[in-house]
């Protein structure tokens, strides 16, 4: 009978960065462009505002807003820096102008209500791209602007949480084929946002296997109900060996008639009995029908 233990296992997938930045970094957000020109639409300004807030939410990051960048370009009389069209050298020059360590540039596109922004992170000191990602406006599973900011600046922290609700103790958890150990309350692990293969095993139950979609900084609830294998009865009975005089007794059940030697011989038409063996059985007084206790 399965014991309903109501165990709630919380697997925390988000959490700590593997390497903390020793010093704060300054990130400049370049003007958003569309089809090779500066995008001054209301939606572009809204996206830039969300990105500024999201970039500033990443640990040890200071943000130079797009407005401040445009003011610096105007003051330096370098209008060519308003639209770099993804050129790393141009963006690095823009970063030096405003005193930034990194520059985030975005190219907007899309149709109707669905808008996608291609984002690129440029290292000002080397004038080379660090990494890139896309921001699909309104995609909550990927985390929106905050998710894009973490993918650019701290990809190791682009994580989520999973909560397993188990009804059986002693189960072992595997994620993406990697053994995480016994399922215990408060066990914390870390892996990225996306689809992961979950397997929960127990020697007395069928495996529980599911694909789980983990969202950015969200908790995914996974109810796990393990199905027990059919119960196999044994022929062992006895008393508790720990009690005085107690011992385990094994019972030999009577052999069914259709498995006895004379029935088999009758069915096959061949009766071959060793005289010595027969005599030995008679002498010992042993019959296969006997129920006998044997034990230490």
Show pLDDT as tens, one digit a residue, over the chain (296 residues): 444 444 444 444 433 333 344 478 999 999 999 888 888 888 888 889 999 999 999 999 999 999 999 999 999 999 999 999 889 999 999 999 999 999 999 998 765 555 789 999 999 999 999 999 999 887 777 889 999 999 999 999 999 888 888 878 888 999 999 998 887 655 657 778 999 999 999 988 889 999 988 888 888 888 888 887 766 544 445 555 555 555 555 455 555 555 555 555 555 554 444 444 444 444 444 444 444 444 44
Instruction: Tell me how crowded residue 199 is: count the other CB atoms within 10 A of its CB.
Output: 15
Question: Model pTM?
Answer: 0.65
For the 25-153 domain, the top CATH level (class) is: alpha beta
The domain ranges of the chain are 7-14+159-224, 25-153, 239-294
CATH architecture of 7-14+159-224: Sandwich (2.60)
């Amino acid at each position: 009978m399965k014991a309903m233990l109501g165990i709630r296992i919380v697997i925390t997938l988000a959490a700590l960065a593997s390497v903390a930045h020793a010093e704060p970094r300054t990130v400049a957000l370049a003007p958003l462009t569309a089809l090779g020109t500066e995008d001054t639409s209301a939606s572009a300004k809204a996206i830039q505002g969300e990105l500024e807030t999201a970039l500033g939410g990443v640990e040890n990051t200071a943000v130079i807003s797009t407005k401040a960048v445009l003011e610096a370009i105007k003051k330096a009389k370098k209008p060519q820096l308003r639209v770099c069209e993804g050129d790393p050298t141009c963006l690095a020059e823009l970063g030096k102008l405003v005193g930034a360590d990194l520059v985030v540039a975005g190219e907007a596109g899309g149709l109707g209500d669905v808008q996608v922004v291609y984002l690129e992170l440029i290292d000002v000191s080397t004038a080379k791209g660090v990494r890139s990602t896309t921001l699909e406006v309104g995609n909550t599973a990927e985390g929106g602007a905050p998710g894009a900011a973490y993918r650019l600046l701290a990809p190791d922290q682009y994580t989520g949480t999973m909560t397993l609700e188990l009804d059986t103790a002693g189960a072992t958890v595997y994620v993406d084929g990697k053994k995480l150990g016994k399922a215990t309350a408060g066990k914390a692990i870390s892996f990225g946002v996306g689809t992961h293969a979950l397997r929960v095993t127990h020697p007395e139950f069928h495996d529980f296997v599911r694909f789980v979609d983990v969202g950015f900084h969200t908790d995914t609830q996974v109810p796990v109900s393990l199905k027990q294998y059919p119960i196999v009865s044994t022929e062992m009975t006895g008393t508790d060996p720990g009690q005085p005089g107690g011992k385990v007794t094994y019972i030999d059940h009577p052999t069914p008639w259709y498995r006895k030697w004379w029935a088999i011989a009758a069915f096959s038409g061949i009766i071959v009995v060793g005289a010595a063996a027969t005599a030995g059985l008679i002498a010992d007084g042993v019959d296969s029908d006997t129920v006998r206790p044997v034990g230490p």
